[in-house]
Amino acid sequence: METTPAFEGLRCVDCGETFDPETATHRCPDCEGILDPTYDYDSVELDRDDLESRRFESMWRYEELLPFTCDSAVSMHEGTTPLVECPRLADELGVERVLIKDEGQNPTGTFKDRGQTLAVTAAVQHGASDVALASAGNAGQAASAYAGRAGLDSHVFLPTRSGFTNKAMVNVHGGDMTIVEGRIGDAGAAYEDAMADHDDWYSVKTFETPYRHEGKKTMYYEVVEQLDWEVPDRVVYPTGGGVGLVGMQKAAEEFRDLGLTDDLPAMYAAQAEGCAPVVRAFEEDRDTHEAWDAPDTICGGIEIPDPGASPLILDALRESGGGAVATSDEDILDAAVLVAQHEGIEMGATPAAAASGAWELAQQGEFDEDDTVVVMNTGTANKDADVVRSHLMGKGL
C-alpha cells in the first residue's frame, strides 16, 4: 500500500487494539468497533509556513496527516472550498463574525467527496473491484463518481425519498443503483443483504470504512488556515451520522497537538426536530443515543435515526464545550431562504439545519458578542432546490 510515513495503523475506538491497515480494512476484527487511523505525530514536521507555501487546490495538501500518498489518491481536487464572510448574518446573530464554509463547491456538490476520495483510494489500495454503500443520497452520488474515476464498479442503495439529482447522477456515473421503498434504515437493510451475498464488495459506508471521517477532517484544517490560524469560537455542523463532526474534532486536536494552534473550537451538532437522537442524548446527559422512533424531516442527509458513532459525537460536543440544537423543518427552510437572500450563498435543506441551529443558539444566548462562528454549508442547494422553492411557494411567494 502507498501509505504516508507517519501513518501507523488503525486503532479500535472501543477495545483500543491497533491493526495493520493492509489486513484490517473495515470494522475492528476483534470487537466490530469503529477503526480510526493513527499517526506518529512526533515524526510529522509541519509548520504554518510549510502549509502556507502550498497551493490551495485540494484537501490532499495535508498529505502528512492523511493515510495515503497524494500520488495514490483518487482525486478530483475536492476540498479547498471557500470560507465566506457573512456580515449580515453576523449582525443578525449578534456576534462579531459569521463565516460559511461552502462545501457546495466540491466536485459532486457536497462534502461527501472528502470522505469518498479517501475511501475509494483505500478500496483501490486493497485491490477492490467493487464498492458498495447505503446512503441518503449524497454519499451514494459521491461514491459512484469516485468509483467511476478509479475504474471500479459501484453499488448504491438509496431510499425512495432521496433526491432526484442524487438518483440521476448515480445513473450518470454508471453506478448500479437500487432504490429501496422507505427510509435510510430500509436502504441499509437491503445493502446488508446484498453485502452478505457478495463477499467481493468493498464497503465505503459511513463508519464501516475507517477513512470517511478521516477525509472529512480536512474541513477543519482549511477553516483554520483560512482564518489566518485563528481558531473559530464555534463551529455549527448539520449532524446525521456525525462523520464530519467526529473528523473535525480529531483535526482540531491534531492541529493543537502539533503546535499549529492553541485552542479547540466549541462544536455544535444541529439536527432537525423530526430526527434528533444526538440532541436528545446530549440534553439527557447520556453517553450514547437511543434510536429515534419515527424519523421525519425534509432534511434527508441528517435523517439518521440510529447514528452508530453517537458516543464519539457526544464526546466531541462535551470535550469541546459545545452543544446540540434541534429546529423545525419550517425554521430550517426559512434559514435556507434567508441565507440565500441575505448572503447569496446557496444552502441545501439539510445543511440549512446548521444555519437554523446557529440562530436558535444565538437566541438561547449561547454565543458571545466577540465570537467568530463558522457554519458548515455541507452541500449545495442545487441538490434540493425543489424542496426549498416549494417551501416559498407554500407561503404564496
Ligand X SMILES: *Cc1c(COP(=O)(O)O)cnc(C)c1O
Identify which range of 9-17, 177-185, 217-225, 347-355 contacts ligand X by CB under 6 A. 347-355
* 109 counts as binding ligand X under rule CB under 6 A: no
**How far from chain centre, in Å, is Cα 92?**
26
Q: Give 348 or 357: the residue with its C-beta nearer to ligand X.
A: 348
Q: Give 28 or 99: the residue with its C-beta nearer to Zn ion.
A: 28
Report which of 105, 81, 90 is spatially closest to residue 358, judged by C-alpha positions: 90
Tell me whether residue 254 is exposed, middle or buried, using C-beta atoms within 10 angstroms of its C-beta: 0 to 12, 13 to 18, 19 or more. Answer: buried
Query: Among 144, 239, 310, 327, which residue sits at the site for ligand X (rule: CB under 6 A)?
Result: 239
Residue 25 interacts with, from ligand X, Zn ion, none (CB under 5-8 Å by kind): none
* 242 counts as binding ligand X under rule CB under 6 A: yes
The site string for ligand X over 290-329 (x = CB under 6 A, - otherwise) reads: -----------xx---------------------------
Q: How far is the CB of 392 from ligand X (least distance, A)?
A: 20
Query: Among 12, 34, 123, 276, which residue sits at the site for Zn ion (rule: CB under 5 A)?
Result: 12
d(CA 321, CA 359): 18
Query: Among 112, 183, 250, 289, which residue sits at the site for ligand X (rule: CB under 6 A)?
Result: 112
* 392 counts as binding Zn ion under rule CB under 5 A: no
User: Across the strands, what pairs with 167?
Assistant: none
d(CA 329, CA 349): 9
Query: Among 22, 31, 290, 291, which residue sits at the site for Zn ion (rule: CB under 5 A)?
Result: 31
Residue 239, helix vs strand vs coil: coil
Q: Give 28 or 248: the residue with its C-beta nearer to Zn ion.
A: 28
**Is 159 in contact with 217 (CB distance < 8 Å)?**
no
* 238 counts as binding ligand X under rule CB under 6 A: yes
Tell me whether residue 229 is exposed, middle or buried, using C-beta atoms within 10 angstroms of its C-beta: 0 to 12, 13 to 18, 19 or more. Answer: middle
Residue 350, helix vs strand vs coil: coil
Q: Give 33 or 148: the residue with its C-beta nearer to Zn ion.
A: 33
Residue 154 interacts with, from Zn ion, ligand X, none (CB under 5-8 Å by kind): none
Query: Among 224, 243, 248, 276, which residue sits at the site for ligand X (rule: CB under 6 A)?
Result: 243
Sign of CA dihedral 14, 17, 21, 25: negative
Kindly state the cell numbers that stand for 206: 459511513
- Amino acid in position 151: G
Q: Give 46 or 278: the residue with its C-beta nearer to ligand X.
A: 278
How many chain residues interact with ligand X (CB under 6 A)?
A: 19
Residue 345, helix vs strand vs coil: coil
**Is 158 in contact with 167 (CB distance < 8 Å)?**
yes
Question: Which strand (E) or helix (H) includes residue 145?
Answer: helix 138-150
Residue 15 interacts with, from Zn ion, ligand X, none (CB under 5-8 Å by kind): Zn ion
User: Across the strands, what pairs with 379?
Assistant: 110
Q: How far is the CB of 20 from ligand X (least distance, A)?
A: 27
Identify which range of 121-129, 234-242, 249-257, 279-287 contacts ligand X by CB under 6 A. 234-242
Our CA angle for 323, 327, 330, nearest 5°, is 160
d(CA 377, CA 213): 17
Identify which range of 77-85, 232-240, 316-324, 356-364 contacts ligand X by CB under 6 A. 232-240
* 240 counts as binding ligand X under rule CB under 6 A: yes
The binding site for Zn ion (CB under 5 A) comprises: 12, 14-15, 28, 30-31, 33
The binding site for ligand X (CB under 6 A) comprises: 110, 112, 138-139, 206, 238-244, 301-302, 348, 350-351, 378-379
